[in-house]
Structure 1
Amino acid sequence: MDFFSPNYLPWLLALVILIFSSLSFLFFTKKSKKPTNLPPTPPTLPIIGNLHQLGKLPHRSLTQLSKKHGPVMLLRLGQVPCLVVSSPETAKQVLQTHDLECCSRPFSHGPKRLCYNLLDLAFGPYSDYWKEMRKLCVSELFTVKRVHSFRHVREEELGKMIKHITQISPNNPVNLSELVFSLTNSIICKVAFGKTYEGKQFESSKFQESIDEAMAMLSSFWGADFFPYVGWFVDVFTGLHWRLEKCFREFDAFFERVIEEHLDPNRIKSEHENITNILLGLSKDETTTFRLTRNHIKAILMVIISNLLFFWFYTFKFY
């Protein structure tokens, strides 16, 4: 009997998760008196908690659970407690009244790697560094004047898309998903890098395929996130760890190439600045609180790329 055949691998993986999670629970969980004023919690299973109740569309699963357990409930995702609020009143408490206590981001293995150990603004935890990075982005990158300076890019790319649609025969169907992705890709890439990237810009895949893979890495289930101390073994065993490393290396090489192109003295300079130009200029500014390194620049560029990721994913793939 071959236990490593495709038919037995899921059962073997489940057994490995159960064993290692049990060891983690026994040796690394501190015994403490449970508070008595916790929010309602749906029935949990040993080790995995409420993970089995989250389907392929977690937001819909949470909606159904909130209808039964109320607008405030506590879920156990593996060994990690998670408070879920699902009404305008409770959301106001979290996002406005108690914003300072709730504003930090939860740690996740995928974003940490792709964003250079959380040097970015979108996934980084709330800290003094995050506040300085936010101040830099607000005052230098996303000002009203800066947004207006990129108006020509939006008008040019939108005009190209409209022209392309008018040239298509009325009898031929139009794939709006591809057209809108191409439009968003062109605008974001021209604003960030000064030119578009649609072909085979990565070592083994096209730009859109690499975007899809990065989205998968940012939104994947990471065993290390929910099962401390032993979850990394699950990520390695399933191959997710190696996929993340390959994705990181491809984007790192891409950002490195973009930076080198902008530093090339023989490069044809555009009359309009892009985000990479601005960041490279700031990296030479000695008056700032901290000096931007290449990793800082790459992390910010990854955030800009992630805007394209989330737009594409939530608009056309999530629902």
Structure 2
Amino acid sequence: MEMILISLCLATLLAFLFLKRLFKRTSTTKLNPPPSPWRLPIIGNFHQLSLYPHRSFRSLSLRYGPVMLLHFGRVPVLVVSSAEVAHDIMKTHDRIFANRPITKAMEKVMKGGRDIVFAPYGEYWRNMKSLCIVHLLSNKMVQSFHKEREEEINIMMEKLEKASSSSSAVNLSQLFITLTSDVMSKVALGRKYSSGEGEFIPSLVWIDWIRRLDGKVEEISTTFDDFLEKVVQEHDVDAEKKGSDFVATLLSIQREKMTPFVFDRSDIKLIILDMFIAGTATTSSQLEWTMTELMRHPECMKKLRDEICSVSTHDSYVNEDDVEKMSYLNAVIKETLRLHPPLPALVPHLLSEDVRVKGYDIAAGTQVMINAWAIQRDHATWGPDAEEFKPERHLNSSLDFQGQDFKFIPFGSGRRLCPGIRLGLVLVEVTIANLVKRFDWRVQVGPDGVDKPDLAEAAGIEACRKYPLIVFPSSVVFPI
């Protein structure tokens, strides 16, 4: 009996020592999650967000820090609000943060995420991105469409000249949407589809859907798929014609089996949809904000016009060769992108493995939102005038759009850097140069006496202007 008691005591003592060591080891490896605001059951932190998430994120980050963990329902979402942490996410740990979360809306429209923007990180995505960069988005390919851009800009200029001669108001926002859509139609589809038999997408309502996700997912998905199917069929019928637009190029690659992987008709349509979104909605918004800021800062408008007139000495169209020589124009566009990035919180990332960032443990499956809007307005890096429109800060600066400096990432960085930056920006550059050179601009004086356009943002994933930019153009008379 005594031997049994002694054995039990020894066993208890050994178990106690083992558990003590286990608990000690567990306590020393306790996970350290990022700081989080308090959250409610079921909805998580949704109640702490406004219609402008990028602004809410910044307000919360001022209290909880540049890396914080929110919950959208049960989904953990890491919000990054500093250049230093963004570097860790998109540079140091780029590979494991390179996935994308897929919402139900994107699942429907992008066929499960088989496009370039939302496809999961892996071989399929790498092949698709490589195909687009080599065959559609190379500098040579982008430059080859300069005639299409010139034609559509001149059409817009004619409308503005008519408005000027009759002292009429113009909805510049609508003109920009038409311009970018018509240019992208020619570049991607081979011809314009803004009128006549092309009324498959009346009033381009899909742009509003992309910007605001207004619930018309099924309708927009079906409409655009039917439209693109018709375009592809037209190109199939005219296969003998060697077109240089995106659809013709992709169909040629498919027929001639020029890639090491198989991609079908559906993949072609998704690539074109990506190009339309990147080349139309975000580009028209960027044109809006650039003209808004220039009209709010007449001294910048004058300085830019002086540069344009000194480089482009003829009275006609400002061409793309001229634009390449305009450093202040480049600074104006950079400053607009700093204050008004196309997607304020970029496209979300998805963490594929557990990782430690800045001493915090973050679990696989966490979504990541990088608040470029807040990073690019950070007073610690941009100075006390960070909220002000000041193009001069970019003169004699090596800062570019390529995501190498993480305090300026309007198009993201790392593996998921937007591959079509030049496709949209070249249109912005040449359009702004022509608008500034050939017209003076004013808005109607409001009841409060303000004669400058407002800065109100629309709610949505893309922070475009809330109200259309209604202006009165006046033709500039050049001295003989």
TM bucket (normalised to shorter chain) is: 0.7 to 0.9
Which structure 2 residues correspond to residues 69-148 of structure 1 after superposition, within 5 A? Answer: 69-148=64-143
Alignment gaps of 5+ in structure 2: 1-26, 290-457, 466-480
Q: 1:147 is matched by which residue type in structure 2?
A: V
User: CA 1:313 to 1:47, structure 2 compared with 1: closer, same or farther past 3 Å?
Assistant: farther
Q: Counterpart of 1:196?
A: 192
How far, CA to CA, are the matches of 1:101 and 1:283 in structure 2? 31
Among 138, 152, 161, the alignment partner of 2:147 is: 152
User: CA 1:309 to 1:87, structure 2 compared with 1: closer, same or farther past 3 Å?
Assistant: same
CA displacement at 1:133 relative to structure 2: 0.8
Count of residues in Structure 1 that have an aligned counterpart in Structure 2: 261
Q: 1:310 is matched by which residue type in structure 2?
A: T
Q: 1:286 is matched by which residue type in structure 2?
A: K
Q: Counterpart of 2:248?
A: 277
Q: Counterpart of 1:256?
A: 229
Q: 1:124 is matched by which residue type in structure 2?
A: A
Among 281, 285, 291, the alignment partner of 2:262 is: 291
How far, CA to CA, are the matches of 1:161 and 1:202 in structure 2? 20
How far, CA to CA, are the matches of 1:192 and 1:110 in structure 2? 24
User: CA 1:57 to 1:312, structure 2 compared with 1: closer, same or farther past 3 Å?
Assistant: farther
CA displacement at 1:272 relative to structure 2: 5.2
CA displacement at 1:170 relative to structure 2: 5.0
User: CA 1:135 to 1:266, structure 2 compared with 1: closer, same or farther past 3 Å?
Assistant: closer
- Pair 1:183 & 2:154 matched: no
CA displacement at 1:265 relative to structure 2: 3.6
Superposed CA offset, 1:21-67 (max 9, x none): xxxxxxxxxxxx99640111011001111011111111111011111
CA displacement at 1:117 relative to structure 2: 2.0
Which structure 2 residues correspond to residues 218-237 of structure 1 after superposition, within 5 A? Answer: none
DSSP-derived class of the 1:292 partner: coil
Name the Cα RMSD after superposition: 2.4
How far, CA to CA, are the matches of 2:225 and 2:93 in structure 1? 37
User: For the Cα contact (< 8 Å) 2:102–2:113, is it kept in 1?
Assistant: no
User: CA 1:187 to 1:287, structure 2 compared with 1: closer, same or farther past 3 Å?
Assistant: closer
How far, CA to CA, are the matches of 2:221 and 2:166 in structure 1? 42
Q: 2:75 is matched by which residue type in structure 1?
A: V
DSSP-derived class of the 1:91 partner: helix
How far, CA to CA, are the matches of 2:218 and 2:74 in structure 1? 25
TM-score normalised by L of structure 2: 0.51
TM-score normalised by L of structure 1: 0.75
How far, CA to CA, are the matches of 2:74 and 2:105 in structure 1? 18
DSSP-derived class of the 1:67 partner: helix
Superposed CA offset, 1:71-90 (max 9, x none): 11000111110111101111
Query: Percent identity over the alignment?
Result: 35
CA displacement at 1:312 relative to structure 2: 4.3
- Tell me whether 282-291 or 248-257 shows the greater mean CA deviation: 282-291
Q: Counterpart of 1:310?
A: 282
Query: Which is higher, the Rg of structure 1 or of structure 2?
Result: 2
Q: Counterpart of 1:62?
A: 57
User: For the Cα contact (< 8 Å) 1:124–1:130, is it kept in 2?
Assistant: yes
User: For the Cα contact (< 8 Å) 2:243–2:249, is it kept in 1?
Assistant: no
CA displacement at 1:313 relative to structure 2: 5.7
Q: 2:221 is matched by which residue type in structure 1?
A: F
How far, CA to CA, are the matches of 2:283 and 2:47 in structure 1? 28
Superposed CA offset, 1:274-295 (max 9, x none): 0010011011122422222110
User: For the Cα contact (< 8 Å) 1:282–1:292, is it kept in 2?
Assistant: no
CA displacement at 1:112 relative to structure 2: 2.1
Q: 1:177 is matched by which residue type in structure 2?
A: S
CA displacement at 1:196 relative to structure 2: 1.6
CA displacement at 1:146 relative to structure 2: 0.8
- Pair 1:44 & 2:39 matched: yes
DSSP-derived class of the 2:152 partner: helix
User: For the Cα contact (< 8 Å) 2:193–2:199, is it kept in 1?
Assistant: no
User: For the Cα contact (< 8 Å) 1:103–1:126, is it kept in 2?
Assistant: yes
User: CA 1:167 to 1:49, structure 2 compared with 1: closer, same or farther past 3 Å?
Assistant: same
Superposed CA offset, 1:160-215 (max 9, x none): 21222112235211211011111111111110001122237456x61412332344
DSSP-derived class of the 1:84 partner: strand
Alignment gaps of 5+ in structure 1: 1-32, 221-239
Superposed CA offset, 1:256-280 (max 9, x none): 110111112499x5x7510010011
- Tell me whether 86-95 or 208-217 shows the greater mean CA deviation: 208-217
User: CA 1:51 to 1:131, structure 2 compared with 1: closer, same or farther past 3 Å?
Assistant: same
How far, CA to CA, are the matches of 2:105 and 2:256 in structure 1? 31
How far, CA to CA, are the matches of 2:267 and 2:191 in structure 1? 21
